[in-house]
Structure 1
Amino acid sequence: MAKLPPGAPRGTIPSPNIWEHTAAYELENRGVDRDGLIERTMRGIHDWSGATLLDLGCGAGFHLPRWAGADPSGGRAARVVGVEPHPALAALARRRVRSLEGVRVEVGSAQQVPLPDASVDVVHARWAYFFGPGCEPGLAELSRVVRRGGTAFVIDNDGSRSTFGAWFRRGYPQVDPPAVIERFWASHGWNRESLDIAWEHDTREDFETVVRIEFDPRTADAILAEHPGTSVDYAVNLWWRRF
């Protein structure tokens, strides 16, 4: 397991893929959901135009420019806050958005969000911390920081279907079964949108690089031996709750 870097908040849960392979994780972000289905679905539920948006677990800040309107198709939040527990990644995120108005990045965790009560309208958390049972402290923080009428979104893998879902079940057999995760979210008042997206990379080399940061060497070798090409179908869950 990745070690906590100096300055990381107490209780931070390591994220080995982006912490140990930041450049490769950037490739992964570029290849996921190039059609923008996740963002379009989010906007259909709660448009963040003119709102305050929190990107929780923002990593190196890949999505922050989208929320701030750098991508014309993505809406324009009035204020964007990125929160990231890894200080070095937070520094990269700050550098990424230094020319954008109304955007700031703070070091913090899902369990201790460095924001006042009822201060944000929309929360985005993608493959960060909220993986079902055990994330209750983070859910309590969402209830604290989201304004009444606001919405939180959590994007996670759907291990029940798709080619990538089968890889995920093979590589992470210790993760709670999909039915357990679904019951967990439903019991906390969250809704689910089942989305079919894809990993689509420009070269086989990029595809292999990304597979190898997400799976142990033995599983990655097996996946790459059986799966040709540069893309894979990928099912995700978009969990959301109105506050």
Structure 2
Amino acid sequence: MREMTDPGTVGTQYASVERLQTRRSVWGPGPEGVSPVDVLRTLVVASGARRVLEVGCGTGQFARSVLDEAPSTDYLATDLSPAMVEATRALGVPAEVAPADELPFSDGWFDGAVAAWMLYHVPDLDGTLAELRRVLRDGGTLHVATNGREHLGGLLRDAGGEALVTQFTSENAAGLLGRHFEHVVQRDVETRATFPDHAAACAYLATFAPDLAQALPPFDGPRAYAGHTAVLTAH
């Protein structure tokens, strides 16, 4: 778990867009036919927030999708990775490099904030949540997405590893958010990672665990693994 928050390791992981694009490409809805990204976007748009801050914006696709549905939103995306900020700006989204635990914005400046699949990476989780609360106005909303303890556990175990347990999971997210926000609502969403063949599964694993990629036993044809995520709103 320490590697998930180590600045050097995280910086290397997100120094370019390729790893993140490989990971995102395999994910789709689970048995309910629901995508957590769609759930998250619907909540952000429905909130009617005029000014929205996103921390850890990645390549900017989520920010772009919000602006496509709500073009009048004053949306600012941030990330520690210059490569991610550049990719986000290329989509026409305002973006800047900024640390999530030391945001360069005034108290209460934003109506809404987004932290999607990134709070398990921050070295100072409580400090980051406190910063997000600080820059939100009273009555503002933080929208969060994260993974559960068993997220992709089947694939990791097939490769001889263990399920990846991070500091911020579906199981503990509500309690951690509750330290800084008065009201938290959570929706759990099951997803599916589908690999067309063994090589695709190895390529996915290689983006964060090259040893497991080499150890994954061969298999024929496509294979799907369950993913476990949660989308939360904190007021």
Task: Give the drift of 1:191.
Answer: 3.4
Sequence identity (%)? 16
CA contact (8 A) 2:60 2:88 kept: yes
* Aligned position for 2:99: 109
- Indicate which of 206, 230, 237 corresponds to 2:230: 237
After TM superposition, the score normalised by the length of structure 2 is: 0.74
Q: What are the residue-to-residue correspondences of 1:8-157 with 2, within 5 Å?
A: 14-15=9-10, 18-20=13-15, 22-33=17-28, 37-42=35-40, 45-46=43-44, 47-49=46-48, 51-69=50-68, 74-76=69-71, 78-97=73-92, 103-130=93-120, 134-157=124-147
Whichever residue aligns with residue 22 of structure 1, its letter is V
SS at match of 2:119: coil
Task: Give the drift of 1:82.
Answer: 0.7
Give ranges in structure 1 of 5+ residues lacking alignment: 3-10, 98-102
- Indicate which of 196, 209, 214 corresponds to 2:203: 209
- Indicate which of 165, 187, 191 corresponds to 1:193: 187
SS at match of 1:155: strand
Whichever residue aligns with residue 60 of structure 2, its letter is G
Equivalents in 1 of 2:217, 2:113: separation in Å?
35
Equivalents in 2 of 1:188, 1:56: separation in Å?
17
**Inter-CA distance 12–106: structure 2 relative to 1 (3 Å threshold):** farther
* Aligned position for 2:162: 170
CA contact (8 A) 1:132 1:181 kept: no
